[in-house]
Amino acid sequence: MDIKSIKIRKAEAKDLGTILGFVHQLALYEKEPESVTTNLNEYEKCFQAGIFEAIIAEIDSKAVGMALFYDTFSTWKGKMIYLEDFIVLEAYRRMGIGEKLFDTFLEIALKKDAKLVKWQVLDWNTPAIDFYLKKKATIEKNWWNGKIIFNSK
């Protein structure tokens, strides 16, 4: 496959069902399919409010990957873009799609005048870790994540 046949475009509201599908596939890969408890309505509401953005990778008009991100702030560095989810469908991995998608994400961050980008990667996901290290990323091992999940009923 020619890398030029990969199209990266900004996600639109009509893509939100596809994006949620990617998130479910990512959760399955990360061995936590039951952890996705949000729904399309929440995606639509938050997308319309500008809470997050996404870019889609396509081959022949078929969505094969996506990156979902949002603006945030680092008190140490300034404006930051957080990469919440980044996935390429398994059948399309190792074709340069992830690299093109990630590079486009970085270009967007630079255009937005971000001082840094940040994301998480599971310690057992060595293909992803290797990918990020090739991009000259720093993989922090001394910071632990904290979270509180509010149960909405």
Catalytically active residues, by annotation = 132
**Cα 81 to the chain's mean position, in Å?**
11
Please identify which residue in the block is written with the tokens 């509201």: 13
Count the neighbouring beta carbons within 10 Å of the beta carbon of residue 140.
10
**Cα 44 to the chain's mean position, in Å?**
17
List the one residue out of 63, 65, 59 whose CA is nearest residue 5: 59
Contacts of 14 (CB under 8 A, 6+ apart): none
Cβ atoms of residues 57 and 4 within 8 Å? no
